[in-house]
Structure 1
Amino acid sequence: MSRELTQVAPGVWTATAETWTSLTTVVVADDGACLIVDPGITVAEVAGLADEIRARGWHVEAAFATHAHWDHVLWSARLGDVPRWATPAAAEAQALSRDADLTQADATAPGHDHDLVGCLTALPEGAVAVPWSGPRALVVAHHAHAPGHAALVLPDSGVLVAGDMLSDVEIPLLDMDARDPVGDYLDGLHRLEVAVMRYAVTAVVPGHGHVAGPRELARRFVVDRVYLRALVEGLDAGDLRLAEPWLAQAHVDQLRVVRALSPE
């Protein structure tokens, strides 16, 4: 995998990390201002992203974290001191999980500056877009996967930056501390699908996996709903993503939680 930036739509670039096929998105304005979404993962990868942005003559104006999990709230001093936006719920969740996040970051991607990890700024109350001078980045907030999770819709380029949703390599991973994790996830999928239709989205960038066009995007909505239905009914989803051992274990854990929450 590489930190090298690849253009996926006008003004939208991605870089893929070695760990978990993690995707970083860079939205670039005509004047070179950049909005960075979910920079990760290793120290070298995040620093390399900063170096490539500088080499292209761009400059970082702002960032956005789709949610507060540790691998989405990393940073490098080379990226500059800029607002790193998140939904209010995500910013609050990160403050509560900071110690655990630092432990996980040190275990998987050691060397990050602790003072820079998770320094999120809550979006203004009622904000519908990320505050920055470049192309519109509309916020689609929901409660799937993690508290305060949000996707970004880029209407000018027809791109949905989905965070940890709509992946071709990961099953739907629930927020297992939620009161209704499956219901929250289904609602999140609904909100994203409405946004896709409203803004004529033609490409999706997941937090982990591969960029996809409209036909593959439609397929991902279907297979994620099939997986969730099978999870609730205790059936074999036949989901090829479960061939990955850690996801198979995550499925077992989710099945246990869903059964515990289900009425007798």
Structure 2
Amino acid sequence: MTTHKGLAVVTGAASGIGKAIAERLAADGYAVAVADLNVEAAARTAEGIRAASRTAQSFAIDVTDKASIQRALDEAIAVFGPLKAWVSNAGVSTMNHFVDLTEEEWDINLNVNAKGPFLCGQVAARTFIEQNQGGKIVNTASLAGKRGGIPFLAHYVASKFAVVGLTQSMAYELAKHRITVNAVCPGYVQTPMQSRELEWEAKLRGVTPDEVIQIMLNETPLQRLQTPADVAKVVSYLLSEDADFITGEAIAVNGGVYMD
């Protein structure tokens, strides 16, 4: 019989940062719920984790729909037992000049990136409170949640600043229940999302994608693009006992692009 140290739910876990987080938490000994709107990709991620003799299963989730979030969590608890950790990682992006941004772009970014962690946080927190065993929540924010001076992403910046503020408010209110809430703020990460953004930004700047990459490298003191695993390591730490007295923090994981 497989043993594990509890259920960890990761949203947006089918690819990119979420996939790396799911893989790392499975390696840490959690039973991981690979939760994503893209059910086929989520299933592939979970299958890859199981192939490494670790514990994972995929679950369909829409982080803008509370009923969907609750259903995914209930299903995961039925399979793996009590919730120990929740990672709100699902996110989207589009790019445009501020004056050309549409209401649709604003709504999509704010719904997924800000309302998503709000709704997921509510569902996770209520479950932790009912279990009465404490708990840990990590929200994926962004470099764009700390620095507004990022081109073509005003709506995304607004959504990620919201995540940082939400994280602090959640941490303050949930502390009495022994629930810690923190955020990670990645920088220029090599993911499918970044690949799309490189094309968009290159077109908006009138340069090539390679020139955009060089701009990113020039801004990064550690002189390389970030990997999803770089983020996953910090999430792993925040969910560990070593971080039991850390709450309300938004940790910059960006190679020095933004220091605070």
For normalisation by structure 2, the TM-score amounts to 0.37
Whose relative contact order is higher, 1 or 2, with alpha carbons under 8 Å and at least 6 apart? Answer: 2
Select the structure that is richer in helix: 2
